[in-house]
Homo-oligomer: A and B are copies of this chain.
Amino acid sequence: MSILIKSVLVDGKEKDISIEGNVIDAISDPGSAKRIREAEFVLEGKNKAAIPGMFNGHTHAAMTLLRGYADDMPLHEWLSTKIWPLEARMTEDEVYWGTKLACLEMIQSGTTFFNDMYWYWEGSARAVAESGLRAMLSAVFIDGFNDEKAREQIRRNEALYEASKQLSERIIFALGPHALYTVSRESLYWVKEFSEKHDLLVHMHISETKEEVEECITRYGMRPVEFLAELELLSPRIIACHCVHLSRKEMELLKNHNVKIVHNPVSNMKLAAGRMPYEELKKAGLYPNIALGTDGCASNNNLDLFEEMKIACLVHKAGSGDPTSMSAQEAFELATSHGAHVFRLNSGVIAEGKLADIVLLDLKKVELVPNHNLVSNIVYAANGSCVDTVICDGAIVMEGRKVEGAEEITEKAQEVAYKLVSSDDSS
């Protein structure tokens, strides 16, 4: 497929963008693109700005089904009385529809890649394949320190990895050892070996809460990142999500092993988990390794990275007492170029030779007026509704805010969500 985007703002200048296959072929002055007559699809870029599709670095997509189902509760009570019982009853079909709804929401808010960890990998993969988005998918690996369960999880992950090779290149298989309090040392060792052998990324919750750090100290006599270092699991392939509670030594270990970090400020605030030490991680040299995520819809409760960027800036300014902490430009980089770096994708910027994962913003939206500084407007004023058109992997997945099948997805997901919740005795 070939697409020409005519006269669109790229880094403040009007340009034509030519897309061939799934790659940005050329960025040229308006009218000068040689392919102007040849492109199969021509998009009018007037009053629009092109930005990279955003990266949602950590989410549980199908949890859109639980949006608004339980809020304002203490963390443990929320998990044990609301979230886990419902998840235990979920089926692959429900995960499929929940992920479809999540993909729709992400498309509509300018996200072209997400890193997911959830139950029923195949359901998520099917939804992603249909959506046109790019995603890294991991199955929740929890063995509860049980050998039988561990063997079962290993077999399942080996099979999923094999199966994933047959799927669209937009779907990347990753390992998803849930956390140190749910996965045994032996299973983590398998994760290390398997991820090394097949060069797979490893998606893991690390030091989200104080309690989990304390539990790790009790169980292993050391802090989480220290324990992972001892296991030799730390590597550039580790996607450490949350990283709220870190010692200075742990930050150094993360840096020395070039570990990747995903920051989820909204979820951390909503569950009162704490604030990731952003300034300290920057000082430790980890800035390029930090991406941004929304977490699942039960603890956010949306998937809008525009909102996440703003709140990231706000929480660090407020938390540090310094209004210069996390600038708009930094938040934008977390959600774009850092995402590409963390997930090893040749995208995250609008440039020739990069993957054609592109978002067109509608500059006539009131939140983007006046346009003194587009990045500031994107981070501090916009929300997902400022997105007009989305291209992922060289294909148009939304144009003029229209996504194919959107109505069916919302209706069906709503139906599935109501059925799931109506079977809940506790609510």
Binds B, one of A127-135, A145-153, A168-176, A316-324: A316-324
Bound CA–CA A72/B313 (angstroms): 9
Is A370 in contact with B71, judged by CB distance below 8 angstroms?
no
Bound CA–CA A74/B304 (angstroms): 28
DSSP class of A's interface residues: helix, strand, loop or mixed? helix
* A230: interface (CB < 8 Å): no
* A91: interface (CB < 8 Å): no
Contacts A71-B380, A268-B318, A315-B318: A417 and B323 contacting too (C-beta < 8 A)?
no
Across the interface, A367 reaches (CB within 8 A) one of B78, B270, B302, namely B302
Bound CA–CA A369/B380 (angstroms): 25
Interface size class of A (residues with CB under 8 A): 35 or more
Chain copies in the assembled complex: 2
Is B324 in contact with A418, judged by CB distance below 8 angstroms?
no
Across the interface, A373 reaches (CB within 8 A) one of B68, B320, B367, B369, namely B68
Residues of B within 8 A of A274 (CB): 318
Contacts A318-B269, A414-B371: A71 and B328 contacting too (C-beta < 8 A)?
yes
* A266: interface (CB < 8 Å): yes
Bound CA–CA A342/B402 (angstroms): 41
Task: For chain A, residues 338 to 386, give those with C-beta under 8 angstroms from any C-beta of chain B.
Answer: 364, 366-367, 369-374, 376-377, 380-385
Q: Which 4 A-B pairs have the closest CB atoms?
A: A385-B385, A370-B417, A68-B376, A269-B318
Besides A75-B323, A266-B314, 5 other A-B contacts (C-beta < 8 A):
A67-B376, A71-B380, A104-B366, A269-B317, A304-B383
